[in-house]
Amino acid sequence: MILDPHAADAAIARRALPLLDLTDLSDSCSDQAVDLLCAKARASRVAAVCVWPQHIARCAELLTGTPVRIATVINFPAGGTDIERAAEDTAEALDDGAHEIDLVLPYRTFLAGDADAASEMIEAVREMSGRAILKVILESGAMPDSARIAEASRLAIGAGADFLKTSTGKSPVSATPEAAEAMLAAIRDSGRTVGFKVSGGLRTVADAALYLDIADRIMGPGWVEAKTFRIGASSLHDALTASLGART
């Protein structure tokens, strides 16, 4: 049986679009860019938009009355060690209307052997976040191997992460299948309800399909939904919607 490749791509797109955290974390992001981002989010009914903290209030206004959530980044992208600043920035973001916090793990500190300091930042932001979703960005591309990624995953889960996220998208190496496998295995083995967000470098329908397949294999059928699986991307949105358009 020969499968129609356009139909296959469209099926992936229909599955992936509701999982998108539609993202603009470019240095040049403007009010006009945020307006366009929110218009795309409303039209496609993605899970969330992810923007710099200074754009949260504008997104909140533009997305009022929709189910699209607003995510922002904290301790981004450097993954510093200033816990007080991270907690204060989180409180301000939530006051401005953010629903989800994407926190960069102090990964250099973690890799240098100070796991306690990394854990303390997550715990502080967890406490400040209240019921908001906390995604911890491991910057997996900076980790030397899958064992360290798994170790960082266990640390983040233990400190209160609601999601593990691969990457900032600002490092030379972003998401990889190997990192996704290590992080998802840690989630599975923890026995806790923790989600996974793959981010950085996903641009094609095939990219989305790859990570959906990995999640299905490790976590089982039916696990992937917006409350447990997100795709952080900017250009991927256009590829997905183009695939759907090819069927019309």
pTM above 0.75, yes or no: yes
Q: Is the dihedral of CA 129, 75, 196, 45 positive or negative?
A: positive
Q: What is the pLDDT of residue 129?
A: 98
Please pick, among 9, 24, 89, 102, the residue that the annotation labels catalytic: 102
Architecture of domain 20-242: Alpha-Beta Barrel (3.20)
Relative to beta strand 163-165, strand 20-24 is unpaired
- Backbone dihedral angles phi then psi of residue 73, each to the nearest 5 degrees: -110, 145
Active site residue 114: no
d(CA 224, CA 216): 7
Please pick, among 21, 89, 135, 165, the residue that the annotation labels catalytic: 165
Q: What is the pLDDT of residue 157?
A: 98
**CA gyration radius for the chain?**
17
Q: What is the pLDDT of residue 38?
A: 98
Q: Name the helix (H) or strand (E) containing 98.
A: none
d(CA 117, CA 208): 34
d(CA 125, CA 129): 6
Helices (H) and strands (E) in the chain, counts: 10, 8
Q: What is the pLDDT of residue 3?
A: 60
Average pLDDT of span 14-20: 97
Please pick, among 89, 162, 197, 207, the residue that the annotation labels catalytic: 197
Active site residue 40: no
Q: What is the pLDDT of residues 129-176, one digit of tens each?
A: 999 999 999 999 999 999 999 999 999 999 999 999 999 999 999 999
